[in-house]
Amino acid sequence: MVKKGLCTFLLAIAPTVAFAGPITFDLRALSVESVDDVGSFTLASGDLMATISASPTSLVGRNLLLNRTASSFGVNVDETTCDSTEDSALIDGGCGAESIAIAFNTNVLLNSLFVSSFGSQDSALVTAGLTAWTLASTGTKSLNSAFLGAGELLIIAYTAGNGFSLDSFTATATPTPEPATLALLGLGLAGAAIQRRRAVRRRA
């Protein structure tokens, strides 16, 4: 009887969360063309939103702009002091090491990203908090479902070579229970424990 009451109570207070599967943000999609050539923009899929930013936001006094072309997605430097505009649409050296920062509106598990245009001398570094991965070739890079909190940064940075393209990235939203829900769950477990003790005493 106690077990039945416990199950009923826990079901009553358990949060109803619709967990979507992994969501891939395609930076090579034609729709990105209408929002690029800016320092940052936001893409949304259902309730999951990802804000993509050129990093750093300025370099040698000039603006860094995200740029999508038919063959790549990367960072351009607008009117650099390198004698001309750097317009490669790759994450490269530019007039200094370029990178892209990604932040989500909720906690996520980082599944993977896809990069292309890697040459034999190219390399990059991906960081999420204290976790880091090295990129050295074209293809899918697993991020091992690493946790990234809402607002924290996933950074994909050039380290050497001629540059590369960030084609897409995949993440899975992992909503956390509200504090009030956790408190109710704690009360429910405490109440169940008290009921169990009373039942044991009656049988004794």
Per-residue pLDDT of the chain (204 residues; tens, 9 = 90+): 444 444 444 444 444 445 579 999 999 987 887 777 888 999 999 999 999 998 865 555 667 889 888 889 998 877 655 555 566 789 988 767 889 999 999 999 999 999 999 998 999 999 999 999 999 999 999 999 999 999 999 999 999 998 999 999 999 999 765 444 444 555 556 565 666 666 656 666
Tell me, yes or no, if the pTM score tops 0.85: no
- Same domain, yes or no, for 128 and 166? yes
Nearest-angstrom CA–CA distance, 192 and 78: 64
Number of domains in the chain: 2
- Same domain, yes or no, for 93 and 133? yes
- Same domain, yes or no, for 34 and 106? yes
- Same domain, yes or no, for 114 and 193? no
For the record, the structure tokens of 27 come out as 């930076």
The domain in which residue 9 lies consists of 1-17+177-204
